[in-house]
Amino acid sequence: MSRMCDICGKHKVVGGSVTRRGLAKKKGGIGMHVVKNVKRTFLPNLQPVRAKTAKGTQRLMVCTACIRSNRVVKA
C-alpha cells in the first residue's frame, strides 16, 4: 500500500515535534524555551475507494480532501 494519493499526489511529509518548557512571558514568566526537537512524519489520510477511471473501475488510494471535493467518481 503506497502512502501517496492517486489523484493529487499528496504524500508523507517530514517535520519536527518541538517540545517547549517554561512559563510564557504574557503569564509572567521569562518565556518558552525549546527543550528538544524530534523528527516525525505527517501522513495523509488515505482511504481505499473503488472509482471509475478511463481504464474502467479501479481500486485507488485517495486522500479525504479529494473525496470531499468530488475529484474522484465512486463506482
- The reported pTM is 0.73
Q: Where are the domains of the chain?
A: 13-68
pLDDT band for position 10 (cuts 50, 70, 90): very high
pLDDT of residue 1: 64
DSSP assignment string, 7-66: TT--B-EEEEEEEEES--GGGTSS--EEEEEEEEEEPP-EEEEEEEETTEEEEEEEEHHH
CB within 8 Å of 19: residues ≥ 6 apart: 34, 35, 36, 37, 38
Inform me whether the pLDDT recorded for 11 exceeds 80: yes
